[in-house]
Amino acid sequence: MKKILIGAGALVLVVAIGAGLYFKREIERASFAATLFSGAEQYENFANIANMFPVATMSTSRTPFQFEEGEKIQLPESFEYNGKSVQTADFLAETDTGALLVIENGKVRYEDYWLSGGRDVQWMSMSVAKSFISASVGIAVEEGLIRTIEEPVTDYVPSLAGSAYDGVRIKDILQMSSGARWNEDYSDPDSDINRFGQILALGGSLDAFAAPLEREREPGTYNHYNSTDTQVLGMLLTASTGRTVTDYMEEKLWHPLGMEANGYWIIDDQNMEMVFGGLNATARDYAKLGELYRLGGNWNGTQIVSADWVKSSVTPDAPHLLPETKIAAGDPFPVGYGYQWWVPASTEGEYAAIGVYNQFIFVNPTRGTVIVKLSANSDYATSLDESAYREMETIEFFRAVIAALD
């Protein structure tokens, strides 16, 4: 009897500890969601997402690829932005930079880590994840699992019938031109994007969030940034491949690129990936997507993503997607848009995957360069002024770094 009581006591203790850990994680998740865009420091959170949220894992490649080491450079002491000189050290500190990696022609020319960053640290992607989803859609098209992006998404995801996405071309969704009514104002606690993100803290279905959205504009006529568009692409991938996003991407992209570390997707209560911003990877593994695109989708002789898809992804092909249109309209972020890739006005073919808090994969194919910057800019979206976002400033910083490679 004594042994039974001891065993029962141990079981109660284990259950209590387990419950304590469960509720600790729940509290951490809720606290994280509540402090986003509030000015609170986030670098410890961004480096520890897999310990805070339920995740699905893409395993390290069995044949990990390592970039060659090149001659190291010193960063420029300063760079010009808006007619003023900005000190590089101040800029990196003020944007809470966790990682900065510069690859030129496949060789590492600069690499450093700060705060909670590190070469082996998986950092939260935010919307950089969108460009990984675009690549995966391109692979599914090439494999014939998606017949054409001219088709309506509801041909594959009938649950969206009657929503803003009913009859909308897959291409329009890729180009953030779905026409759905949406508020992506991170500084507004009641905005659609913040309510969307609360699902991860409070529970619920990310996919279900798309169904009630209403149409505001004619699809394919206006570029309106909408993270639900990307979540719908995740639904498309799941429906067309018959597999989870994690499983499909692991086989088709993660392993072929020789990723050196596990990648983690945040998942919701239905085990659906937060494809609009929930990827977690190391700086070097993020850089591999940029390098793949710089090389036209070909990796060590294997065409992972078709060259046509890569070109179309980073080429705005309608007036409402062009950076010049946004510049003329006085847009505070005058950058064009492709298939989930940003395209700055440039004579050198620049494009970038960009996430809030200043996450970047920046590619300059003319100069053979890929730059990754992982950050936790605590001032991000605390006001509507560009000084609280600093994306355009970051692009100018990258241009100065590339100039220093000469």
* Residue 54: CATH number of its domain: 3.40.710.10
CA distance linking residue 214 with residue 208, whole number of Å: 13
- What pairing do the DSSP bridges indicate for beta strands 68-69 and 107-113? parallel
- What pLDDT is recorded for position 25? 66
Q: Are residues 121 and 41 both part of a single domain? A: yes
Q: Is the dihedral of CA 280, 283, 288, 291 positive or negative?
A: positive
- What pLDDT is recorded for position 200? 75
State the burial class of residue 405 (Cβ atoms within 10 Å of its Cβ: 0-12, 13-18, 19+): middle
Q: Is residue 13 over pLDDT 60?
A: no
Q: Are residues 25 and 87 both part of a single domain? A: no
Q: Is residue 133 over pLDDT 90?
A: yes
Tell me, rounded to whole angstroms, the distance of Cα 156 from its chain centroid.
24
Cα radius of gyration rounded to whole Å, the chain: 21
pLDDT in tens, 154-172: 999 999 999 999 999 999 9
pLDDT in tens, 56-98: 999 999 999 999 999 999 999 999 999 999 999 999 999 999 9
Q: Is residue 16 over pLDDT 70?
A: no
331 versus 353: the higher-pLDDT residue is: 353
Q: Is residue 4 over pLDDT 50?
A: no
**Cβ contact 305:134 at 8 Å:** no
- What pLDDT is recorded for position 19? 47
Cβ neighbors of 79 (< 8 A, separation 6 or more) are 85, 86, 88, 91, 396, 397, 399, 400
- What pLDDT is recorded for position 2? 39
Q: Are residues 113 and 3 both part of a single domain? A: no
Percentage, residues of the chain above pLDDT 90: 79
Residue 20: pLDDT band with limits 50, 70, 90: low
The parent domain of residue 8 ranges over 1-35
Q: Are residues 236 and 325 both part of a single domain? A: yes
Q: What is the mean pLDDT of the chain?
A: 92
Q: Tokens 């420029």 identify what position?
A: 76
- What pLDDT is recorded for position 24? 62
Residues in the chain: 406
- For residue 80, what are its two tokens? 């010009």
pLDDT in tens, 87-127: 999 999 999 999 999 999 999 999 999 999 999 999 999 99
pLDDT in tens, 175-225: 999 999 998 888 788 888 888 878 877 788 999 988 899 999 999 999 999
Q: Tokens 């009897």 identify what position?
A: 1
The stretches of 71-191 forming alpha helices (DSSP H) are: 88-94, 129-142, 170-174
Q: Are residues 64 and 31 both part of a single domain? A: no
Q: How many CB atoms lie within 10 A of CB 195?
A: 14
Beta partners for 359?
355
Q: Are residues 31 and 60 both part of a single domain? A: no
Q: Are residues 28 and 86 both part of a single domain? A: no
Q: Are residues 241 and 359 both part of a single domain? A: yes
Give the 3-state secondary structure of residue 360.
strand
Q: Are residues 289 and 364 both part of a single domain? A: yes
Q: Is residue 11 over pLDDT 60?
A: no
Of the candidate ranges 39-53, 85-99, 284-298, the one whose mean pLDDT is the lowest: 39-53
Q: Are residues 129 and 20 both part of a single domain? A: no
- What pLDDT is recorded for position 15? 41
Q: What is the mean pLDDT of residues 330-337?
A: 90
State the burial class of residue 172 (Cβ atoms within 10 Å of its Cβ: 0-12, 13-18, 19+): buried
Percentage, residues of the chain above pLDDT 70: 93
Q: Are residues 54 and 7 both part of a single domain? A: no
**Number of folded domains that form the chain:** 2
Residue 17: pLDDT band with limits 50, 70, 90: very low
Q: What is the mean pLDDT of residues 317-328?
A: 94
Residue 23: pLDDT band with limits 50, 70, 90: low
CA distance linking residue 233 with residue 226, whole number of Å: 12
CA distances for 19 relative to 11, 56, 292, angstroms: 12, 21, 44
Q: Are residues 158 and 241 both part of a single domain? A: yes
